[in-house]
């Protein structure tokens, strides 16, 4: 791609009073729509969760959201077509198939709550693996209004414009092709940031105008461009395959990090504690909902008043006394990650709250990592660990006894009985 040539075209496009840059991207109503569309997507998620979504597009909360998008006719004319229920084809299959509907709801909920680009891409890959008939990259238009700096809009004209500009061969209807196109749009945006915006709507508007014929491009040799496109598509497919293998590996493993957090969540709730889930994990899918379902939305102010507030918010699971709001127990789950960082977070919590050294703290890790746990505790840097009631809780003990503790236990007695003091000798 001749970047100097593209830059000239972009400058001309920005100055054109009839181009989408001025008629749509700089349009005040476009900005106002972000908040209303986010609220609408929240309503879709809630209706799906409670079973009130129904089995038709017309009259649904989704129709309201998509209509708000389609009203922006400068770029999104016809955006509702992909979501219209087509009974002869049974697509998109999110109205009569409850499992598909729930998968779509989890996808939207994850993207609403996540604060990392990787989490959004992971949600897209999970939705793609669900293979919901008729639900393709048109859903990216919803994502654009949630994360405009990460996810570009998607429609036929944008695809045509991208293919013409980049010499690519994007086809409609496939998420991997959309993600490969997204790579190219990000590269275009980075190369011409001063003429575009962090908001990918500017680049998408330009491609829309190219694809709709307003800015026809001259004939060019596309052999090299097509090869670059194939490389981008190959990388996206390799990443998707890697993610799929990682998912399968996690399923084949005895337990996952999220699963252990879920066990601790359910056990804490059963024992009557208020439960906090790490802020960066709260929106993770678990047991048909979110990991943070039924948990505290915020920590007590006294726990976040010190300089380690952000660190404490990232502790995997905290149990709080229902009456006083004091920390009763805290858990760091170290499935494969650094045990060192988990201990540091525990120390920050313990030493940052009044009476912290009298609380109960647990490092939860696979049985096979017991040696690693004890080796870290033996480091001189953690000399103050001896002041804490910090214990190692093996997966197997939690797995085998959590149900009986939840049913017959009270307080922390059952958990303390299955945990191992870190100063104890290593079991053979």
182 and 268 in a single domain? The answer is no
- Domain membership of residue 93 (yes or no) is yes
Count Cα neighbours of 426 within 13 Å in the Cβ-side half-sphere.
12
- Domain membership of residue 96 (yes or no) is yes
172 and 23 in a single domain? The answer is yes
- Domain membership of residue 209 (yes or no) is yes
Question: Would you say the pTM of this structure is higher than 0.75?
Answer: no
Greatest mean pLDDT range, 188-192, 220-224, 303-307: 188-192
Inter-residue contact 216 to 167 (CB < 8 Å): no
240 and 282 in a single domain? The answer is no
Which residues pair with residue 421 across a beta bridge? Answer: 391
Over residues 278-286, the mean pLDDT reads 86
- Domain membership of residue 368 (yes or no) is yes
226 and 267 in a single domain? The answer is no
166 and 297 in a single domain? The answer is no
- Residue that finishes a domain, picked among 247, 276, 309: 247
3-state DSSP assignment of residue 174: coil
Q: Comparing 179 with 217, which gets the higher pLDDT?
A: 179
333 and 389 in a single domain? The answer is yes
Inter-residue contact 71 to 24 (CB < 8 Å): no
Report the range of poorest mean pLDDT among 43-57, 130-144, 158-172, 302-316.
302-316
382 and 302 in a single domain? The answer is yes
- Residue that finishes a domain, picked among 213, 247, 281: 247
- Residue that finishes a domain, picked among 220, 247, 274: 247
For residue range 40-97, list pLDDT tens digits in order: 999 999 999 888 998 888 888 999 999 999 989 899 988 889 899 888 888 999 999 9
The pair of three-digit structure tokens given for residue 322, joined into one six-digit string: 């229902």
pLDDT value, residue 97: 92
Helix and strand counts by DSSP (H, E) for the chain: 18, 8
197 and 277 in a single domain? The answer is no
Q: Comparing 198 with 323, which gets the higher pLDDT?
A: 198
CB contact set of 394 (below 8 Å; sequence gap of 6+): 364, 365, 366, 367, 370, 420
Domain assignment of residue 295, given as a range: 257-421
Work out the percent of the chain whose per-residue pLDDT is above 90.
40
229 and 263 in a single domain? The answer is no
- Domain membership of residue 428 (yes or no) is no
- Domain membership of residue 252 (yes or no) is no
138 and 271 in a single domain? The answer is no
pLDDT value, residue 103: 92
H or E segment and range at residue 333: strand 327-333
pLDDT class of 182 with cuts at 50, 70, 90:
very high
Number of domains in the chain: 2
Report the range of poorest mean pLDDT among 55-69, 216-230, 242-256, 379-393.
242-256
241 and 348 in a single domain? The answer is no
- Domain membership of residue 426 (yes or no) is no
Report the range of poorest mean pLDDT among 51-55, 83-87, 170-174, 255-259.
255-259
Report the range of poorest mean pLDDT among 116-130, 248-262, 279-293.
248-262
277 and 224 in a single domain? The answer is no
- Domain membership of residue 19 (yes or no) is yes
pLDDT value, residue 357: 47
């Amino acid at each position: 791609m001749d970047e100097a040539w593209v830059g000239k075209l972009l400058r001309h496009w920005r100055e054109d009073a009839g181009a989408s840059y001025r008629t749509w991207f700089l349009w005040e109503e476009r900005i106002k729509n972000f908040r209303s569309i986010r609220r609408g997507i929240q309503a879709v998620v809630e209706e799906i969760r409670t079973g009130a979504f129904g089995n038709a597009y017309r009259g649904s909360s989704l129709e309201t959201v998509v209509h708000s998008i389609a009203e922006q006719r400068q770029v999104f004319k016809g955006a509702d077509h992909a979501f219209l229920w087509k009974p002869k084809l049974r697509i998109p299959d999110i109205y009569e198939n409850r499992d598909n509907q729930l998968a779509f709801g989890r996808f939207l909920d994850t993207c609403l709550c996540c604060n990392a680009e990787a989490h959004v891409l992971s949600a897209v890959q999970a939705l793609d693996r669900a293979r919901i008939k008729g639900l393709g990259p048109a859903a990216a238009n919803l994502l654009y209004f949630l994360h405009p700096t990460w996810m570009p809009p998607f429609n036929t004209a944008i695809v045509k414009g991208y293919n013409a500009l980049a010499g690519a061969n994007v086809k409609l209807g496939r998420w991997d092709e959309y993600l490969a196109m997204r790579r190219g749009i990000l590269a275009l945006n980075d190369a011409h940031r001063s003429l575009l915006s962090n908001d990918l709507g500017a680049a998408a508007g330009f491609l829309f105008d190219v694809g709709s014929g307003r800015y026809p491009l001259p004939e060019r040799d596309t052999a090299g461009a097509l090869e670059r496109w194939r490389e981008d598509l190959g990388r996206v497919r390799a990443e998707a395959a890697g993610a799929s293998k990682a998912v399968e590996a996690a399923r084949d493993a005895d337990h996952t990090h999220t699963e252990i957090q879920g066990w601790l969540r359910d056990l804490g709730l059963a024992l009557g504690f208020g439960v906090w889930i790490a802020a960066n994990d709260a929106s993770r899918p678990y047991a048909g909902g979110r990991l943070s379902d039924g948990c505290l939305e915020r920590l007590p102010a006294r726990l976040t008043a010190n300089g380690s507030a952000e660190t404490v918010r990232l502790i995997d699971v905290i149990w709080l006394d229902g009456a006083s709001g004091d920390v009763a127990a805290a858990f760091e789950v170290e499935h494969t990650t650094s045990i060192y960082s988990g201990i540091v977070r525990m120390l920050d919590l313990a030493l940052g709250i009044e009476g912290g050294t009298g609380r109960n703290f647990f490092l939860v890790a696979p049985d096979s990592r017991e040696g690693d746990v004890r080796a870290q505790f033996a480091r001189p840097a953690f000399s103050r660990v001896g002041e804490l009631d910090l214990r190692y809780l093996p997966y197997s003990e939690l797995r085998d006894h959590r149900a009986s503790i939840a049913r017959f236990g009270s307080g922390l007695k059952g958990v303390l009985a299955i945990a191992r003091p870190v100063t104890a000798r290593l079991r053979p």
